């Protein structure tokens, strides 16, 4: 699916999405769940060039730093494994880049994009959680026990990203319809 709205709006919207949601991973009564995975997917899909990927990584790090130092968010997840967020987010970025070739919203292309997104989310989950287990120094349990404990987080990890993806696809489709309708109406009135 190609993006027809102004190109500058897309990076700004993705930056804003991360800024609005990254402070609390699981969300809460007054906050939305973290949309970083979806932001990286859509950045790969709609924004050309690797520099924006780097920019989003820096933004994520700055948001984490500010939320920990200024808003008393727990630093439990900050460990030597934190650097593995780079390949975690790269999974989503490259899934978006791969999905660029699908230009329409027909069912077969949506199913392929959904499968690519599911695989990328699953790979991201595996990378972030296994690196945390291996490098954080916070676990004195075996891999099997850790896996069974962390598996409870996979459904929310997956569902938050999928919900954001569906909402964003729908919003973009709606904006493109509204924008193209208003342009066509203005063009026909000028004839």
pLDDT level of residue 186 (50, 70, 90 thresholds): very low
| Residue 132 in domain | yes
* pLDDT tens track for 49-76: 899 999 999 999 999 999 999 988 888 8
CA–CA separation, 156 vs 34, rounded Å?
11
pLDDT level of residue 170 (50, 70, 90 thresholds): confident
Whether residue 123 has pLDDT greater than 70: yes
The residue ranking higher by pLDDT, 90 or 153, is: 90
| Residue 129 in domain | yes
| Residue 190 in domain | no
Phi and psi at residue 87, to the nearest 5°: -70, -25
Query: Would the pTM of this model clear 0.95, i.e. be above it?
Result: no
Using alpha carbons, list the distances in angstroms from residue 179 to 15, 76, 169: 22, 45, 15
Domain membership of residue 77 as a residue range: 9-183
| Residue 4 in domain | no
| Residue 55 in domain | yes
Domains identified in the chain, total number: 1
pLDDT averaged over the chain?
Answer: 86
> Could you tell me the sign of the dihedral formed by the alpha carbons of 181, 167, 74, 30, in that order?
positive
Percent of the chain with pLDDT over 90: 53
| Residue 1 in domain | no
Per-residue tokens: 165: 């993806």
| Residue 39 in domain | yes
- As a whole number, mean pLDDT of residues 4-24 equals 82
| Residue 188 in domain | no
18: part of which helix (H) or strand (E)?
A: helix 9-21
Per-residue tokens: 40: 């990286």
The residue ranking higher by pLDDT, 82 or 32, is: 82
């Amino acid at each position: 699916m190609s993006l027809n709205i102004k190109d500058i709006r897309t990076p700004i919207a993705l930056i804003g999405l991360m800024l609005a949601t990254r402070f609390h991973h699981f969300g809460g009564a007054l906050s939305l769940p973290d949309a970083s995975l979806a932001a990286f997917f859509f950045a790969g899909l709609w924004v050309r060039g690797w520099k924006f990927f780097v920019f989003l990584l820096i933004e994520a790090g700055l948001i984490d730093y500010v939320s920990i130092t200024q808003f008393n968010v727990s630093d439990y997840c900050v460990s030597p494994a934190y650097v593995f967020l780079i390949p975690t987010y790269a999974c989503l970025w490259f899934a978006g880049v791969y999905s660029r070739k699908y230009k329409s919203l027909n069912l077969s292309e949506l199913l392929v994009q959904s499968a690519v997104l599911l695989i990328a989310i699953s790979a991201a989950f595996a990378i972030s959680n296994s690196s945390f287990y291996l490098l954080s120094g916070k676990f004195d349990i075996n891999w099997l026990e850790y896996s069974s404990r962390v598996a409870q987080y996979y459904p929310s990890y997956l569902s938050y990203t999928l919900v954001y993806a569906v909402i964003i696809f729908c919003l973009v489709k709606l904006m493109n319809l509204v924008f193209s309708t208003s342009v066509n109406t203005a063009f026909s009135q000028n004839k």
